[in-house]
Structure 1
Amino acid sequence: MLSSGGDGDGRVSVSLSELLALRARVARVALPTRESRVASAGQQSSRLYGRGMDYAESRAYQPGDDVRRLDWRLTARSGKLHTKLFQEEREGRVLVLLDTHASMRFGTRSRFKSVQAARAAAMAAWLAVRAGERIGAVAFGERTHILRPQGGTRGALAFCGALADRSAGAEGRSESLSEALLRAGRLVRSAGRVLLISDGLSCDDLARGRLLDLRRHADIGVLIVGDVLELATAPVGRYPLEHDGVRREVVLQAERQRREFQQALGAGQARLAALAQALGLRQRTIDTVVDPLDAVVGLLGASGQR
């Protein structure tokens, strides 16, 4: 996952040159203001206990507080125990959870879902560079690589190279979203922001609890990628489809038949969208034709906005 493995065609395999060129595209977009307690880009504040950090405020003592952090002056004045809270500046981290299941290698317009997902992920990387943040990735599905967060242009280049790597993965391997979140473990929880990019077919029942736990540690955005046939009812017509080298033609005529066809193809997207809505996570749905930049900027925008 760390070398380019050649350049793809940008349609069925991702083009490294296109991923690198997206930097200029991202550089021109106006970014929303994110909440921060520090002025410098790429720095996020959190209230932690510790020495050698900036004092933030004091609050009433709670069982389990470190007695070394007691605010003795306020305690003496109020007659009640108070604990000091300190503010630590941490470099921001963006982690992309990228779906690499075989279902992502499908598309009837412009490009495969996998290529569109890679384009969106690369945009997230270049956005992180602009914000002075580190960018990392966890691939799940046929590929199960982990790219630990790295900063600056070097980090984004490594990230794009990983996206464009076309070396063979474990063909046919299936990994649920909950399994991926469990495997990522501490790396996911250490990120300030997480962007999940998937077509939703890997979304399972256990993912709900794991995403709920992750939401306590990070700001989560969900980018749902679908083909136009998965997202909208197809017009009347004949549709040639190919799978595992076998080519078939699907004839769609009656409205009910076309609606059921769309619902069957788009079951994954609908399931993931419903879960994100139930958990109050920011979400966007894109097809394989649109420019994903607006969706990515919206998902990695101001913290706390849904």
Structure 2
Amino acid sequence: MIKPTRAPLSLAHDPRLHCDYAQLVRMQAHATSFNLLPNAKIGTPLDGRHTSKLRGRGLNFEELRHYQLGDDIRNLDWKVTLRTGKPHVRGYSEEKDRNVILCVDQRSSMFFASIEVMKSVIAAEVAALIGWRALRESDRVSSFIITDHGIQKGKATRNQGGFLAFLKKLSKSNLTLNARPSNTRVPSFSDLLQQLSRLGSSGNTIFILSDLSDMTETDIDRLHALQRNNDIIPITITDPVEQALPSQLIETQWKVGDGDYQISLDSEKQRQLINQSFSSRAQSRAQNLSRLLSSKKLPLIELTTDGEHIRQFTQCAGGHA
């Protein structure tokens, strides 16, 4: 059990645009209202994701009781047996160690919102929330922060000091985001998956917090490969404008671009064509992610920029806001 951490004073900024260290520390207060893996079930003694209900030669002593027919004689407590004259056995609960990996997208493409809160802020706050919950369950937490300038890998830790150091790095990355385009090559989602594939470990619970705007079909195949030996939980962050452009944009003659190309929205036909493309892409992504998660019956978590992301996440994770 971790002790509540007193959050430092927030910096003078709009919390909808950026999140500072104090903002991420305060997420600890919400870390009791959900489960990290709400649908996880223990299969075999070698195939668990957390504390097993099976009794055996585990790590945690649970009880001392009278011997019953069928008990493993290797668990006999000879001192108590000799002292009482009756056979006693020691019962254990198996500890299923878990490593939670937080992959947080803090690239400039996440510095966007048409309603209330930037996608980059949502990713950072929910990552902090998941990390605080993992620490409460005595799990290890490691991290990858993907920025315009590279991918920062954080060491696994299960202590509060190590996690606070991660939150400082995360807030620093978030506070540097702005609307100016980057002049350097921005790491792609594929680059992140390559690093995850090189971990060489299994049994991890990997949370990916991103809008997945540059996810490719090859990336989906890599996610399926990772899912064989890990729990992959993508948390997608979207904005309504990315689903369908409103008709009012034609009156203002908006220009839409991707950094290299742009188009002027000056007709209803153009708007409908773009919306069809948006809808097709969103539907394809949802179907791919649903297939990815269905093998382990994990939830598909989609968050929006309307400022209700904490409530949305805790509900998707089987909790309450």
- Please tell me whether residue 12 in structure 1 is matched to residue 17 in structure 2: yes
Q: 2:28 corresponds to which residue?
A: 23
Runs of 5+ in structure 1 lacking a partner?
A: 55-86
Q: 1:156 corresponds to which residue?
A: 163
Cα displacement (A) at 1:12 = 2.7
Aligned counterparts, 1:237-248, within 5 A = 237=249, 238=252
Cα displacement (A) at 1:25 = 2.4
CA deviations over 1:139-180 (Å, ceiling 9, x no partner): 235230011221132243223212101486975433332331
TM (normalized to structure 1)? 0.67
Runs of 5+ in structure 2 lacking a partner?
A: 1-7, 59-92
Q: 2:300 corresponds to which residue?
A: 283
Greater CA radius of gyration, 1 or 2? 2
Q: 1:241, 1:249 within 8 Å by CA — same for their partners in 2?
A: yes
| Count of residues paired in the alignment | 256
Which of 101, 115, 118 is 1:109 aligned to?
115
Which of 103, 118, 133 is 1:127 aligned to?
133
Q: 2:34, 2:318 within 8 Å by CA — same for their partners in 1?
A: no
Cα displacement (A) at 1:214 = 0.7
The one-letter code of the counterpart of 1:160 is L
CA deviations over 1:52-100 (Å, ceiling 9, x no partner): 965xxxxxxxxxxxxxxxxxxxxxxxxxxxxxxxx97442111122223
Secondary structure at 1:165 match in 2: helix
The one-letter code of the counterpart of 1:164 is S
CA deviations over 1:274-305 (Å, ceiling 9, x no partner): 32123235422221123223454466669xxx
For residues 138 and 205 of structure 1, the distance between their equivalents in structure 2, rounded to whole angstroms, comes to 22
For residues 159 and 136 of structure 1, the distance between their equivalents in structure 2, rounded to whole angstroms, comes to 9
Q: 2:3 corresponds to which residue?
A: none
The one-letter code of the counterpart of 1:131 is E
The one-letter code of the counterpart of 1:119 is E
Cα displacement (A) at 1:194 = 0.9
Q: 2:117, 2:307 within 8 Å by CA — same for their partners in 1?
A: no
Q: Which 10-residue stretch deviates more, 138-147 or 218-227?
A: 138-147
The one-letter code of the counterpart of 1:291 is E
The one-letter code of the counterpart of 2:171 is A
TM (normalized to structure 2)? 0.64
- Please tell me whether residue 230 in structure 1 is matched to residue 235 in structure 2: no
For residues 146 and 253 of structure 1, the distance between their equivalents in structure 2, rounded to whole angstroms, comes to 46
- CA RMSD of superposed structures (Å): 4.0
Aligned counterparts, 1:14-163, within 5 A = 14-27=19-32, 29-31=33-35, 32=38, 34-36=40-42, 43-44=50-51, 54=58, 89-142=95-148, 143-163=150-170
Greater strand fraction, Structure 1 or Structure 2: 1
Q: 2:303, 2:313 within 8 Å by CA — same for their partners in 1?
A: no
For residues 253 and 160 of structure 2, the distance between their equivalents in structure 1, rounded to whole angstroms, comes to 43
Q: 1:204 corresponds to which residue?
A: 216
Pair 1:301–1:149, CA change in 2 (3 A):
farther
Q: 1:189, 1:214 within 8 Å by CA — same for their partners in 2?
A: no
Secondary structure at 1:123 match in 2: helix
Pair 1:181–1:147, CA change in 2 (3 A):
same
For residues 200 and 129 of structure 2, the distance between their equivalents in structure 1, rounded to whole angstroms, comes to 19
For residues 111 and 257 of structure 1, the distance between their equivalents in structure 2, rounded to whole angstroms, comes to 28
Q: 2:80 corresponds to which residue?
A: none
The one-letter code of the counterpart of 2:224 is L
For residues 106 and 119 of structure 1, the distance between their equivalents in structure 2, rounded to whole angstroms, comes to 15
- Please tell me whether residue 293 in structure 1 is matched to residue 310 in structure 2: yes
Cα displacement (A) at 1:227 = 1.8
Which of 205, 208, 225 is 1:213 aligned to?
225
Which of 264, 268, 271 is 1:258 aligned to?
271
Secondary structure at 2:234 match in 1: strand
Q: 1:141, 1:176 within 8 Å by CA — same for their partners in 2?
A: no
The one-letter code of the counterpart of 1:103 is S
Q: 1:193 corresponds to which residue?
A: 205
Q: Which 10-residue stretch deviates more, 94-103 or 186-195?
A: 186-195
Query: Percent of aligned pairs with the same residue?
Result: 22
